Amino acid sequence: MTLADIHAAHQRIRGVAIRTPLLPFRDGLFLKPESLQPTGSFKIRGAYNALAQLTSDERARGVVTHSSGNHAQAIARAARLLRIRAVVVMPDNAPRVKVDGVSADGAEIVFVGPHNEERVARAHEIAEHDGMNLVPSANDRRVICGQGTIGIEIVEQLVEAGVATAPIVLVPVGLGGLAAGVAAAVKGLRPDARVYGVEPSLAADVHESLERDEITSWPSEQTVRTIADGLRGEAPAPVPFAHLRRLLDGVVLVEEEEIVAAMRIAAREARLVLEPSGAASLAGLIKHTNELPDGPRVAVLSGGNVDPDRYLELLRGTAA
């Protein structure tokens, strides 16, 4: 995966994924709201970049993926735009708003239990039985390059804003595709930049994996406890993990109440609707602001697909 690959992805997704703004937020802080993408999250970047590179024969065979929601929606949208059949394996506890988004774009949904390994196994079965192309949410170079286009935009937009100092970028990390892509792009353009992952303490498998310098799994019974459903990865995926080991400057941890507080702050101060996973990096920015290096700081807000009723409960503090 090279910077040239990420630049090529940036051209490929033009007109499908939007160039989200870099919003000034408080003093010296910036927000990159990927919640404003057409499917409500950054995932459209990687999904479209991957599907657009399929051969005509591969497109004819269709695609299958496994996802708790945002990647599912992105694959469904990219497949519809490219006229490709798509099958999505989702957990039966996926947020309704994400399930509805997948259905609206015409993808076929197969429900399994809540554990990540169930989704992965079923998707592989379908791919093998039906001859479909498996497009994972993170463990794919094409997907990672698509997500990396966020990093290109961050560096460009800071220059446009007249900011010359190397940035400190915070990115939510689940399976690791987003963080790997953003780190590769940002550091490819600004080697003096710093990039940190942000992870819930209740699902800190990437944090532990980097500390141990080997992929370390957390049982789904533990990771399912976090409100950030998009960050319940259980273990980093092998392809992005190889890049995270080399490029990431560390992983900071946030608590559940800090994620919810960040959702409220985003709504009140930035007028942004964020899902818990999308608010994790803002929570990390606020919590660890005194521990991070000096310089302009950017929080990548990964998505805003949250059930409306659940969202209101969280804002009001009435959620169970």
Apex CA 318: angle with CA 38 and CA 254, to 5°? 65
Query: CA 263: distance to chain centroid?
Result: 16
> Residue 258: what pLDDT?
97
Q: In the chain, where do the E strands start and end?
A: 23-25, 29-33, 63-66, 86-91, 108-112, 133-134, 168-172, 194-200, 251-254, 297-301
Q: Around Cβ 192, how many Cβ atoms within 10 Å?
A: 9
Flag whether pLDDT at 261 surpasses 90: yes
Flag whether pLDDT at 267 surpasses 90: yes
Per the CB < 8 A criterion, the answer to whether 172 and 232 are in contact is no
> Residue 320: what pLDDT?
61
Beta strands at 23-25 and 29-33: parallel, antiparallel or unpaired = antiparallel
Task: Write the CB contacts of 126 (distance below 8 Å, at least 6 apart in sequence).
Answer: 64, 87, 89, 110, 132
Q: What is the pLDDT of residues 155-168, one digit of tens each?
A: 999 999 999 999 99
Q: All domains of the chain, ordered by start, with CATH? A: 3-41+140-316 (3.40.50.1100), 44-134 (3.40.50.1100)
Mean pLDDT on 216-224:
90
Q: What is the pLDDT of residues 171-218, one digit of tens each?
A: 999 999 999 999 999 999 999 999 999 999 999 999 999 999 999 999
> Residue 319: what pLDDT?
67
> Residue 67: what pLDDT?
87
Catalytic residue among 32, 35, 41, 43: 43
Catalytic residue among 68, 220, 281, 302: 302
> Residue 298: what pLDDT?
98
Per the annotation, the verdict on 43 as an active-site residue is: yes
Apex CA 57: angle with CA 53 and CA 60, to 5°? 95
Q: Around Cβ 29, how many Cβ atoms within 10 Å?
A: 17
Per the annotation, the verdict on 201 as an active-site residue is: no
pTM of the model: 0.95
Mean pLDDT on 122-143:
95
Task: Write the CB contacts of 88 (distance below 8 Å, at least 6 apart in sequence).
Answer: 64, 65, 66, 67, 72, 75, 76, 102, 107, 108, 109, 110
> Residue 169: what pLDDT?
98
The Cα 89–Cα 87 span in angstroms is 7
Give 257-263 contacts, CB < 8 A, sequence gap 24+. 258/283, 258/286, 258/287, 259/200, 259/227, 259/228, 259/283, 260/227, 260/314, 260/319, 261/286, 262/286, 263/311, 263/314, 263/315
Per the CB < 8 A criterion, the answer to whether 67 and 229 are in contact is no
